[in-house]
Structure 1
Amino acid sequence: MFTIAELKSNVEATVPYTYYINEFPATGADNSAYVRITGGFAPSQWTPQLRPSFQVVVRAKTTAQAETVALAIWNAYHQRRAFNIGSQRIVATFADQPIPLYLGVDDNKRALYSVNFTARFLNGVSRP
């Protein structure tokens, strides 16, 4: 299984932006996002397949900028196949919704979007 730090690094390298782990810090940048592991499906009883899910919440000073970054992340991870997060070999990732979800604005009037994905991999199979 990959760690949250490995997931953050992977997303950051794939779609450059300022990312945090699990939540926005009080002094976080206006234009930033956080990455969190959100659960997923129960482990298979018969195979080593795991299907964890993860979420990226994007915020920006404008709705257009937040939506643009969220769409870039959605496009990068929906139907992405055969890649690594840390040393974990990922079979594929799929979006959980057809488009990024608009969450509204935070207390500082920054727009928020959420993108959610499910990863598929075989536990214990690392990069070749």
Structure 2
Amino acid sequence: MVEKTGRPGYLQIADDLRTQIRTGSLAPGAALPSTAQLCQRYDVSASVVKAAISVLRTEGLIVGQQGKGVFVREDAAASVEAPAGTSSEVMEQLAQMRSTLATLGERIADLEKAVFQGPKRSR
């Protein structure tokens, strides 16, 4: 479960999954739990889980396979630290920006639905 520490939930989830990869609980080649399972485990929305997955993908720890799932990279142990020349602070800021953009996209879609519904036609 995500704690109310002031640290964004998606980063808490990314930290937990990264630790599981580092300790071998999620072995190289292993599938991550589904988005629905992670939502239930951490008691968060799908957008929060997707942002956490995006962080780990950016760090090179996981790879997605269309229609199959998300898997721990075979060489993930070597990639547990931030990529060479990239500070973890920059990676965190990038992840925060991606999350913010995803949230804004959802909000814009909701606004467009509300604005462009059009009047109901009487028959």
TM-score norm. by structure 1 comes to: 0.26
Greater Rg by CA:
2
- Structure with the higher fraction of residues in helix conformation: 2
TM-score norm. by structure 2 comes to: 0.26
